[in-house]
A = this chain, B = another copy of it.
Amino acid sequence: MTKRPTIADVARRAGVSKGSVSFALNGRPGLAQSTVDKILAAADELGWRPSNRARSLSVSKAFALGLVITRDPAVLSSDPFFPAFIAGVESVLSTRGQALVLQVVTAGESEEDGYRRLAQDARVDGVFLSDLRHDDPRIGLLVELGLPAVTLNRPDGDSPFPAVTLDDRPGTVAVVEHLVGLGHTRIAQVAGPPAFVHATARSTAFTDTLAAAGLEPVAVETGDFTAAGGIEATRRLLALPEPPTAIFYANDRMAIAGLGAAQAAGLNVPDDLSIAGFDDSELAEYVHPGLTTVRADPFRFGEAAARTLNRVVDGDTDVPDVELPPAELVVRRSTAAPPL
């Protein structure tokens, strides 16, 4: 409550100049050790902490990173990725005295505006680019804005930014092999919107693996990652003349909703229909039957992304991409051999 001490207070108390204090506190050479000690002691006694504001102004940095999330709230509500991702990011930022600025862009406002605001207001030193889309326009935008970034997974176009990647494909392959191994031949997929890089990556891995087993998808429906979308897609699949005996969903939310739809239609899961999801969200383990799914580690993803972004922000050129351990299959009760 008493106004915080400034660097001038420290200087006065140590009997030196402001400049020396700054040097001492930043551990820069050019000061006698005895002077450094004196200054550090004075700073300590006064409980001095640098003012972010003054520092920001003089070094032109925000000491903050930004995350723009574009979802309507209802959808975001049950997304299992971001909260854990954010926690991972925080675990890195908190040790560096940085803050995370979050921007939730709801429908109506464009996502680009979110980044633009962050850049114009100079609120952050860099941003995380998530949910990459094909030929993502945000990459060009960020280049234009001069805002450093790290991409979550690798974009398909050119990108000057490092990528932190977590390969979804091994998990997808494992799911398909698991289903094929159980004897399924009529397997369908509920994919995510094709505009997303990760959605098509999963989708392609699905089709390819099936092909490698000499099979073709019964159908590939497109969902929008929401529960409502999962229900719709599931109903369409179940209404097919020859419905699938197994459905692989691009995320758990659609899978859990699909599970509900199948049960509501009188089907027994897994006896009549096997269901697999993607994410291993909290509820996946606890619905009935437990959902077979694919588990990634969003917390680690957040840590790695934050560290990588900071290297860029710190001026490191040629920051290498970081590859995280791939997502892996978690087998539960929702998958079993197909009905005879």
Contact = CB atoms under 8 A, between A and B. Distances in A.
Interface residues of A, number: 72
A90 B103 contact: yes
Contacts of A94: 103, 109, 117
Contact of A84 (B77, B90, B100, B286): B77
A264 to B, nearest CB: 5
Contact of A122 (B53, B73, B228, B281): B53
A233 to B, nearest CB: 12
Nearest to A78: B282
Given A84-B76, A260-B288, A227 B283 contact: yes
A91 B123 CA distance: 17
A74 B73 CA distance: 19
A221 B84 CA distance: 28
A283 B121 CA distance: 37
A46 interface: no
B121 A97 contact: yes
A49 interface: yes
Contact of A78 (B75, B103, B122, B283): B283
A101 B102 CA distance: 6
Contact of A228 (B227, B286, B299): B286
A141 interface: no
Contacts of A64: 101, 123
B101 A99 contact: yes
A282 B121 contact: no
A139 interface: no
Give the most central of A94, A122, A256, A286: most B CB within 10 Å.
A286
A101 B104 contact: no
A297 B71 CA distance: 17
Contacts of A122: 51-53
Contacts of A99: 101, 103, 118, 121, 123
Nearest to A121: B52
A13 to B, nearest CB: 20
List the 5 shortest-distance A-B pairs measured between CB atoms, nearest first: A260-B288, A257-B286, A263-B288, A73-B87, A73-B84
26 contacts: A49-B120, A49-B121, A52-B121, A52-B122, A52-B123, A53-B57, A53-B62, A54-B57, A56-B56, A56-B57, A71-B83, A73-B84, A73-B87, A75-B282, A77-B83, A78-B80, A99-B123, A100-B102, A227-B283, A228-B285, A228-B286, A230-B286, A253-B282, A257-B286, A259-B288, A287-B287
Interface of A: 1, 49, 51-54, 56-57, 60, 62, 64, 71-80, 82-84, 86-88, 90-91, 94, 97, 99-106, 109, 117-118, 120-123, 144, 146, 226-228, 230-231, 253, 256-257, 259-261, 263-264, 281-283, 285-290, 298-299
